[in-house]
Structure 1
Amino acid sequence: MSAAPLQAVITDQAPAPVGPYNQAVQANGWLYCSGQIPLDPATGEMVGGGDVEAETRQVLKNLEAVLQAAGTTPSRVVRTTVYLVDLNDFQAVNAIYGECFGEGVSPARACVQVAALPKGSRVEIDCIAYVG
């Protein structure tokens, strides 16, 4: 039995990748979403001006657009990784994250402090979702 082919997920409702990768890849009923930063998909410009709450809302909006393009929703996300430049932002990010993923079974999650993120972002989030 051969494995199902990989399928790239691309939408103009989320920012174009800033490197040689896809917004997401679907394989065998699973969606692997690349990390999203707070870029406006229409302009490619950063949103939030360093305000971690505004940045987090844009990151989650971008991530949801990728999920939707693949035919799934945040309620089917099983795993996320939250990357933060400053762990002092954790509570603010966590509150907004809960608005997106707080219903039903919340996904498993890791939170990682990093030295820097692309384009000066303060937050980046990636995820794995079930598409089925």
Structure 2
Amino acid sequence: MTLLYFCWKSGYHGTNTDSKCTGEFADANLSDSCRRRAAKEEMMKVIATEHAPAAIGPYSQGYITGNLVFTSGQVPIDPATGEIKSGIEEQAHQSCRNVLAILKAAGTDASKVIKTVCYISDMDQFGTFNQVYEQYFTSKPARSCVQVARLPKDVFCEVEAVAEL
């Protein structure tokens, strides 16, 4: 009945426009596009938490689809103060904490992370970054780590993750 209500409220009536129809008959006549839209609405959810910095662009902190959580890349902004500490070590800690906060808001944690992508602005800091990173992602998920020319706010690192619920 939830699917029927969603589709009727959304204006996706298919060929059945009788407002008195209910149950199996109405459900059988719902259009395929309505079914796909309803399934997508039920499966996709934006993640928002005050325990990670607000997005600094037109994107969300993270997204849940199916049984997966995707975080946006997290730069090392302290969500409580908006400050960015200096140094790769401090920044790596903050970026990882921000990712974990989004995962927690989604209902999962670091032990369920499948893959991360890490961006660093200086590959000479790779070792220091790894020492911090391994404290947070102890299950050793798949990972890509690349040097980039520049990151938002001129930070040293950014971390994103994909995890299971």
Q: What TM-score do the two structures reach when normalised by structure 1?
A: 0.92
Q: Provide the aligned C-alpha RMSD in A.
A: 1.1
**Identical-residue share of aligned pairs (%):** 39
Give every structure 1 segment of 4 or more consecutive aligned residues whose post-TM-superposition deviation is greater than 4 Å: none
Partner in structure 1 of residue 5 of structure 2: none
- For 1:30-109, what aligned pairs fall within 5 Å after superposition? 30-46=68-84, 48-49=85-86, 51-102=87-138, 105-109=139-143
1:71-116 CA distances to partner (integer Å, 9 max, x unpaired)? Answer: 00000000000101000110001011111112xx311000111000
How far apart are the structure 1 equivalents of 2:148 and 2:135?
24
1:4-63 CA distances to partner (integer Å, 9 max, x unpaired)? Answer: 4321000000000000000001001100100001101022221x22x1000000111111
- For 1:2-13, what aligned pairs fall within 5 Å after superposition? 2=36, 3-5=39-41, 6-13=44-51
Amino acid at match of 2:72: S
Aligned length in residues: 127
Partner in structure 2 of residue 17 of structure 1: 55
Amino acid at match of 2:111: S
5+ residue gaps, structure 1, are none
Amino acid at match of 1:71: G
How far apart are the structure 2 equivalents of 1:27 and 1:77?
15
5+ residue gaps, structure 2, are 1-34
Aligned with 2:64 (options 26, 40, 48): 26
Q: What TM-score do the two structures reach when normalised by structure 2?
A: 0.74
How far apart are the structure 2 equivalents of 1:75 and 1:4?
27
Bigger helix share: 2
- Report the 3-state secondary structure (helix = DSSP H, G, I; strand = E; otherwise coil) of the residue aligned with 2:114: strand
Bigger strand share: 1
